Chain A
Amino acid sequence: MLKVSLVIVGGGPAGMSAAVAAYKAGVKDILILEREAHLGGILRQCIHNGFGLHKFGEELTGPEYAARYAEQVKELGIPYKVGTMVTKITPDKEITAINSTDGIMHIKADAIILAMGCRERPKGALNIAGSRPSGIYTAGTAQKYVNIKGYMPGKEVVILGSGDIGLIMARRMTLEGAKVKAVCELMPYSGGLARNIEQCLNDFGIPLLLSHTVVQIHGKDRVTGVTIAKVDEQRRPIKETEQYIACDTLLLSCGLLPENELTKGAGIDIDRITGGAVTDQNRQTSVPGVFACGNVLHVHDLVDYVSDEAEIAGCAAADYIAGIESERVDISVRPVNGVRYTVPQRITSAQDTVVYFRVSDVFRDKKIVVRCAENVISSKKKIKLAPGEMETVKLDAKVLAGIGTGEISIGLED
């Protein structure tokens, strides 16, 4: 059996940044396992710009952003295998992987970083009535056809869901000559970034129909149209508002799901809200020595934050391998009052910690309040909060040391 200090599952932005960080922190025996034929992950098909503003202070395209890290991986000589799919991870950190040159491999790791990313919610899970013709794609699949394969999957398009990939694809398909007739969003607000609504829909005159859904798919061989309807406050379609839109394509951008089948197989605790592992501030999961970062942990809206998170995991994995432990505390972080989840969910050492979270609805003029029992630890005003935009709150090392053992809550207050 092959022995490696640190195995990183996934060579996308999270896996690559984690590898570089771990290497710089002293771990030289690293192996990145990537299922696609190239490093870069989903960024390879994200050819639009807007990546890297926080991290590099400039606007890069997805492939450019990925290349920055891929070049570092190659320059540092960090070993990686592409075309390699991990099929199993055990709780004692044995990995099974397969590719066409090595066959089936068994690898024993001292530490593992999970960086498998996420997948899109498919049509089947949406229970849309109607037929099952061709012409129904998740937005990311359509993006792969257009940007990687160079083919047009549709000419007249309706998009269900206003997640960022759907918005990006509305613009991309339009630029390629397709007619995007509408973007329907079940919720009364968009799940995408405000800048994407402006630049991808408004700039091209594509209507965003909030509180609307697709109730019926039409067509035998290929999609010929969809029936859409407005929904009431309980998100039930209102029959009288049904309207038919002729189209040959339905794109779905209805949410991203962290891909944690391997994680579950390793017996790691999963957060029911994020769909990712429960972790501490180091992104260490419930299995010591197994870390998670990026979209496999919780879905991010900016890759820059993925890189930040992966660096935390990479450095922590290096500490774990070196046997370094810091001052222990035991604090659980509880989301309350309009906060859906937090990452991390628990804090085990007294160090400056950034907690990421999302809110459950659109809120205006609220304060983000961190409390320990009745005491307010911090409070910051926010004019607008939306589920589509990830929020952060900083916790001070001294405060955490002062709490020692206990629980803190993060919630919205007037």
Chain B
Amino acid sequence: MFDVCIIGAGVVGAMCARALSAYKLNICVVERANDVCTGASRANSAIVHAGFDAKPGTLKARFNVAGSKMMEQVCRELGVKYVRNGSLVLGYGDEDKATLEELYERGVKNGVEGLAVLDREGVLALEPNVTEEVTCALWAPTGAIVSPFGLCDAGLGNAMDNGAQFIRNFEVERIESADGVYTLYAGDQKVEARFVVNAAGLYSDKIAAMVGDESFDVHPRRGEYMVLDKAYTPSLTSYTLFSTPTPKGKGILVTATTGGNVMLGPTAVDMTDKEDLDTTAEGTASIREQSARYIKGIPFGGVITSFTGLRAVGSTGDFIIHASAPGFITFGGIESPGLTSAPALGEYCVELLGNEGLVLEKKENWNPIRKPSGWYRKLDDDQKNEVIAKEPAYGNMVCRCEEVTEGEIVYAIRTNPGARDVDGVKRRTRSGMGRCQGGFCSSIVVEILSRELGIPYEQVTKSGGGSIINYGRTKGGKDNA
């Protein structure tokens, strides 16, 4: 029996788990996939919005600004990559300038600091690569970039270090409620908890409906992205570049990322299928066409990968946060600025559960600090040599493109919540995320996972479930390495 069960190990679930882990509570996080951060948190723009975009008075505005202010400290505590790179909303002519002035006013109302509307000279002083068409911009120095995966991984990992449990491959199929206890069923497994937090992203409507809350819907909105080879950063841009929103939409962005690659996207196409993560020829073409208006000389030949994310768009237009049933808190429709808001949503979750009657007693020994997952990379050569002398695996380079060692991969598998598949290793270490996209290292990563997890080589998957990589031995096959 748990005090609290959180459904969903995306960024909202992870931040809720971490906030709750500061209290004397027995907590678990259930996740339908094989890892943290596999839904909307996985594939988004990875930016911390300054907060000028959301309409004043909305939950989006409230938590955007609050989350943006918390993010730097949370990332410092969790050792997650965060860079306050600043964002520019580019304008093309007088009409855009008027819109930017409105955004400026809205930002001021929302409490965003340091905003300024710049003329072309002002823009060029910051970003000389903008196209000839750009006439003005809104400058938001508090705009930042963050690693969404890092935030999920470290957030949940920190909660686990403080006692929370993580149950993977647990897809909630039905929920029963009796005598103040919720029982969550997934296949032949079940979890019992007195309080439940529904952070199920795209499926938060379906989960809420399991306890009788049919007050809202969530639909997927496709966003496609393209990622450029690191060789083009930061000469291309170190900022996050938006274009002025028009009645047709917000447009794409061109942004630096904490991983070092420049990223282009997202498109915005409303969908019905919550599992359709296809990239499309139209999406790619649209990104190319739009991004060419932002900065000069984008090397489209340097695209190393493209991907699709699905935003969880709620039917009210705002975040949907309420008790779906007594002791059952729902976070629905957490689309953009959900990543930015997540740390503030975690705190709010504690408050709401308190209102529902959860007894909150602080742990004396709660540790908010997690050793940065990238600790090894920050060492100088002498310090690395000391580590290698003790653990030779840190001298064995597995991923050539991103220079990831065996020691770092083993660490990613052994450290809470721990990688269990090739994509999990990739997101934690960047092994396979470089220009060869795992061509050389993936077979070695499979070998390390097999050894560390104590499972046969052919049972190692790309991303859990049926995503197997090998079908078993060749004729009389044996390892010839």
Contact = CB atoms under 8 A, between A and B. Distances in A.
Contact of A85 (B279, B400, B471, B475): B400
Interface stretch (B54-62, B203-211, B290-298, B383-391): B383-391
A149 B446 CA distance: 11
B278 A131 contact: yes
Contacts of A151: 457-458, 470-474, 477
A333 to B, nearest CB: 25
A221 B466 contact: yes
Nearest to B284: A127
A140 interface: yes
Contact of B392 (A37, A100, A134): A100
A85 B474 CA distance: 30
Contacts of A220: 275
B271 to A, nearest CB: 14
Contacts of B277: 131-132
B257 interface: no
Nearest to B229: A125
A148 B384 contact: no
B226 to A, nearest CB: 8
A93 B474 CA distance: 45
Given A122-B439, A127-B284, A140-B439, A134 B469 contact: yes
Contact of B395 (A99, A132, A144, A150): A99
A138 interface: yes
A150 B304 contact: no
A100 B280 CA distance: 43
B455 interface: no
22 contacts: A98-B388, A98-B395, A104-B381, A104-B384, A120-B436, A122-B304, A122-B305, A122-B438, A123-B305, A124-B437, A129-B279, A129-B284, A131-B277, A133-B462, A140-B439, A141-B439, A144-B443, A145-B470, A149-B443, A149-B481, A150-B477, A221-B465
A127 B303 contact: yes
B108 to A, nearest CB: 41
Contacts of A125: 303-305, 437
Interface residues of A, number: 50
Contact of B280 (A119, A120, A129): A129
A261 B405 CA distance: 18
Interface in A95-154: 98-104, 119-120, 122-125, 127, 129-134, 138, 140-141, 144-154
Nearest to A141: B439
Given A150-B479, A152-B473, A261-B401, 19 more contacts: A87-B403, A104-B381, A119-B435, A119-B436, A123-B305, A125-B303, A130-B279, A131-B277, A138-B439, A141-B442, A145-B470, A149-B480, A149-B481, A151-B474, A151-B477, A176-B474, A216-B278, A259-B400, A264-B231
A194 B470 CA distance: 31
A130 B303 contact: no
Nearest to A216: B278
A147 B472 contact: no
A127 B283 CA distance: 11
Contact of B439 (A98, A119, A148, A176): A119
Contacts of A132: 277, 307
Given A87-B403, A154-B471, A103 B462 contact: no
A153 B389 CA distance: 36
B269 interface: no
B463 A134 contact: yes
Contact of B480 (A85, A104, A148): A148
Interface in B367-391: 381, 384-385, 388-389
B467 A221 contact: yes
Contacts of A120: 436, 439
Given A99-B396, A100-B388, A123-B437, A150 B278 contact: no
A212 to B, nearest CB: 16
A102 B388 CA distance: 8
Q: What 10 A-B pairs have minimum CB-CB distances, sorted nearest first?
A: A150-B477, A124-B305, A100-B395, A134-B462, A100-B392, A122-B437, A221-B466, A85-B397, A103-B385, A151-B470
Contacts, number: 152
Assign chain B's interface to a size class.
35 or more
Contacts of B473: 150-152
A358 interface: no
A127 B288 CA distance: 12
B281 A35 contact: no
B471 to A, nearest CB: 5
A130 B439 contact: no
B279 to A, nearest CB: 5
Interface of A is mostly: mixed
A353 B465 CA distance: 58
A149 B457 CA distance: 10
A134 B466 CA distance: 9
A215 interface: yes
Contacts of A99: 395-396
B456 to A, nearest CB: 10
A127 B395 contact: no
A104 B385 contact: yes
Contacts of B110: none
A222 interface: yes
Nearest to B472: A152
Interface string A167-190: 000000000110000000000000
Interface string B216-247: 00000000000100010000000000000000
Contacts of B465: 221
A141 B307 contact: no
Contacts of A130: 278-279
Given A119-B436, A129-B281, A132-B277, A146 B467 contact: no
A215 B284 CA distance: 13
B406 to A, nearest CB: 8
B98 interface: no
Nearest to A147: B480
Nearest to A248: B471
Interface in B37-64: none
A83 B389 CA distance: 15
Interface in A324-364: none
B475 A177 contact: yes
B191 interface: no
A100 B393 contact: yes
Contacts of B405: 98
B396 A129 contact: no
A28 interface: no
B468 interface: yes
B461 interface: yes
B478 A150 contact: yes
A99 to B, nearest CB: 5
A222 B457 CA distance: 17
Contacts of A48: none
A264 B435 CA distance: 15
A371 interface: no
A265 to B, nearest CB: 10
